[in-house]
Amino acid sequence: MRRESEADADTVWRILADGWLYPSWVVGASRMRDVDAGWPAVGTLLHHSVGAWPALINDTTEVLRSEPGRELLLRGRLWPLGEAEILLRLEPDAGGGCTIHMEEDVVSGPTKLLPHPVRAAMIVPRNNETLRRLTYLAEGRSR
């Protein structure tokens, strides 16, 4: 999926590169506990919680690939459901904005046993809102 933004790729990247903002744009992430020094370098982790109090699950998201200003590949964990890989790609537009591309799929755990169309039906609405939030944050910063 993708979303057009009036913000340029560098502005969007600054949102992605500030790990403390993660719960502001990722649907389901409710709070940050810690951000590894060097985030978003490969191998660094976000230590966050998922859910709503009092039913919070402490988990992590790891950077698998990072190309500043262009691409971020993450592995998110939500045990006991499994792990997912999330690819965020930023494509500059001629008008000064950018297109934000997002791909996600489960890569391990019990949820991987569900057929792809069922997984997509669970993931797509959440990611549409995630992209909407990321875009609003970036456009607000670029004003």
Question: Each residue of 100-121: pLDDT tens digit?
Answer: 999 999 999 999 999 999 999 9
pTM across the whole model: 0.95
pLDDT at 128: 98
What gap in Å lies between CA 24 and CA 31, rounded to an integer? 9
Pair of tokens at residue 141 = 């910063």
- Three-point CA angle 13, 17, 19, nearest 5°: 140
pLDDT at 103: 97
| One-letter amino acid of 26 | V
CATH number where 39 lies: 3.30.530.20
pLDDT at 80: 79
Sorting pLDDT into bands at 50, 70 and 90, what band is 32?
very high
Whether residue 79 has pLDDT greater than 80: no
Count of the separate structural domains present in the chain: 1
Range of the domain at 103: 2-142
